[in-house]
Amino acid sequence: MATTANPTRDDFAALLDETMGAADGFEGRVVKGTVTGIENDLVVIDVGLKSEGRVPLREFAPAPGQKADLKVGDEVEVFVDRVENSMGEAMLSRDRARREAAWDKLEEEFGKTARVTGVIFGRVKGGFTVDLNGAVAFLPGSQVDIRPVRDVTPLMDIEQPFQILKMDRRRGNIVVSRRAVLEETRAEQRTGLIQSLAEGQVIDGIVKNITDYGAFVDLGGIDGLLHVTDMSYKRVNHPSEVINIGDTVKVQIIRINRDTQRISLGMKQLESDPWEGAQAKYPIGGKFSGRVTNITEYGAFVELEAGIEGLVHVSEMSWTKKNVHPGKIVSTSQEVDVVILEVDEDKRRISLGLKQAQQNPWEAFTEKHPIGSTVEGEVKNATEFGLFIGLDGDVDGMVHMSDIAWGVTGEEALALHHKGETVQAVVLDVDAEKERISLGIKQLERGGVAGAGASAGGSSSAGVNKGQTVTVTVLSVGDAGLDVQIGDDGATGFIRRGDLGRDRDEQRAERFQVGQKFDAMVTGFDRSKKPTFSIKALQLAEEKQAVAQYGSSDSGASLGDILGEALKARQDNN
């Protein structure tokens, strides 16, 4: 604008508009200025406006707590907040200038997805504040490290790289992540390290973490999984039984998946395999001692040596205890004797027998109680076909209903005894293979023959059958009849008065004497299992037989003739 010697009002207005317009272009911008003076803690700066501005000296310090190195004549960049305040001075800011310059650079780096350098300097709710060379950013707590960090103090006030996740200049928001940088760096290291590893390689590592299923081992920048089943040949219930966090362990690389960068490790592979030669070491039928390591519903595992376990199936645990939980027979850590039943070296399986290491109780019973001996026990149960008796050695014997009593039906015999009653019985038979013991109660009667069965004539007692003719000896004479005995040491029985003869005169008991012998017929058995006899029945049977053999009602022969012939034939036979 050209100047005149005598400016008019219009010229002055135009000059003012030009000056103000130029000043308006300064506001909100970073401009260069010259230090014209330093007054105490303020720096006087001329940026080309009509008045100078003052900026606190501390804003020019290179870092918090440090002293600013500034002198008159230095050229600096400041942010023009306002061209003129109420005092007519320009309002300048070095911090705002630094932030604006930082934002420009951060936007450029954000566009390139490049890393930026910053310093963690404070804590806020949910995270931390980071100084990105003048711009303040927010670092969420989840983005500090790959794993949760309890104490961030060692990471504060030091320069370190960050990745910008999000930024909004209009709102002044920047979100950064330290974790993204670590993961990227780790991935680069893993890729390089995994290329240098090979399956079968033995390497040292540090245990970083322990879980229920295994442990993670740091191999120098990359982690490998050491599964619990690969820690030892022996049973490991939890990895902490073998290793601890921070331990240095020697491991072998079992598998490497280069696509997923997963590595499987093993420790037991560095030891000798105890299963090699197990079949020769543990022959079938051999007896060994072991320790119970685990109990399940279907059996118990027994450790024969470190790394070799066998299974005792529940069916092979006890001779006598059936359908019970294995935990009621053995307990964990118990030392037991077992017998080898089967060995499969390829499948690493050994079948063991616990009961086979003990004597078969049925064989032991036979040795102690041979057939024909008398035993005593409690009636444990009564079934529709017999009684079960508890015997020595925790075994049961069965009395069939036909072997309970003489002269009664099976149902009546079962009713003679009840559960819990103590009874005596004779051992009739023992089958150790089938685990069966047969007993008889009725065989205990005097004169009885163990194992005597029924015949066509009826039930058997003391070696006699119903309808059989025997010679008896009178033991005593009473008004009701006679007490008699078969032979000299046979079964005893009774003859009622009415059975002493056909005729009334023959039915007198006093006509017999003690010690007298005669023939009688067995007619049955009473409830006390003793046989009953009858002379009358024998006479009628002989008469019927004589009639059938020597004559009939229409033959013309008299009864006396017939009987005479029968008696003569009998004498001839004698």
Q: The CATH number of the domain where 393 resides is what?
A: 2.40.50.140
Tell whether 68 is covered by a domain: yes
171 lies in the same domain as 241: no
Domain-terminating residue out of 303, 331, 357: 357
- The bridge status of strand 262-266 relative to strand 223-227 is parallel
Tell whether 412 is covered by a domain: yes
202 lies in the same domain as 175: no
d(CA 29, CA 31): 6
CA 47 to chain centre: 82
Tell whether 6 is covered by a domain: no
Place of tokens 């017998």: 339
d(CA 207, CA 226): 9
d(CA 124, CA 146): 20
224 lies in the same domain as 202: yes
97 lies in the same domain as 131: no
98 lies in the same domain as 131: no
Tell whether 139 is covered by a domain: yes
263 lies in the same domain as 312: no
Instruction: Give phi and psi for 448, each to the nearest 5.
Output: -75, 155
Count CB atoms within 10 A of the CB of residue 383: 10
In sequence order, what DSSP letters do the residues of 316-359 get, joined into one string? GS-SS--S--GGGT--TT-EEEEEEEEEETTTTEEEEESGGGS-
Task: Look at residue 393 and give its three-state secondary structure.
Answer: coil
41 lies in the same domain as 106: yes
Q: What is the pLDDT of residue 556?
A: 47
Instruction: Give phi and psi for 370, each to the nearest 5.
Output: -65, 165
Tell whether 72 is covered by a domain: yes
- The bridge status of strand 308-313 relative to strand 349-353 is parallel
* Three-state SS sequence of 241-254: HCCCCCCEEEEEEE
d(CA 483, CA 478): 8
Q: What is the pLDDT of residue 458?
A: 41
Rg (CA), the chain: 58
Q: H/E element holding 281?
A: helix 278-281
332 lies in the same domain as 382: no
Count CB atoms within 10 A of the CB of residue 7: 12
d(CA 231, CA 271): 10
470 lies in the same domain as 545: yes
Q: What is the pLDDT of residue 39?
A: 76
Instruction: Give phi and psi for 546, each to the nearest 5.
Output: -65, -40
Reported as a single tens digit per residue, the pLDDT across 133-142 is 777 889 999 9
d(CA 321, CA 309): 24
What is the total count of domains within the chain? Answer: 6
Mean pLDDT by 10 residues, the chain (574 residues): 56 52 56 77 74 71 65 74 64 69 77 84 91 85 86 88 86 88 80 80 89 88 86 84 89 86 87 81 89 90 87 87 86 90 87 86 84 88 88 86 77 83 88 86 60 38 73 87 82 86 86 89 74 88 78 50 56 57
Tell whether 317 is covered by a domain: yes
Q: What is the pLDDT of residue 558?
A: 47
d(CA 522, CA 485): 12
Q: What is the pLDDT of residue 459?
A: 42
**Residue 97 · residue 133 · CB < 8 Å:** no
298 lies in the same domain as 346: yes
From the number of C-beta atoms within 10 Å of its C-beta (0-12, 13-18, 19+), residue 292 rates as buried
**Residue 266 · residue 252 · CB < 8 Å:** yes
CA distances from 411 to 406, 416, 461, 530 (A): 12, 9, 18, 18
162 lies in the same domain as 224: no
Tell whether 391 is covered by a domain: yes
Convert 505-522 to b/e letters by CB count within 10 Å (16 or more is b): eebebeebeeeeebebbb
- The bridge status of strand 386-391 relative to strand 395-400 is antiparallel
Tell whether 276 is covered by a domain: no
151 lies in the same domain as 125: yes
Q: H/E element holding 571?
A: helix 559-573
Residue 536 belongs to domain spanning: 465-550
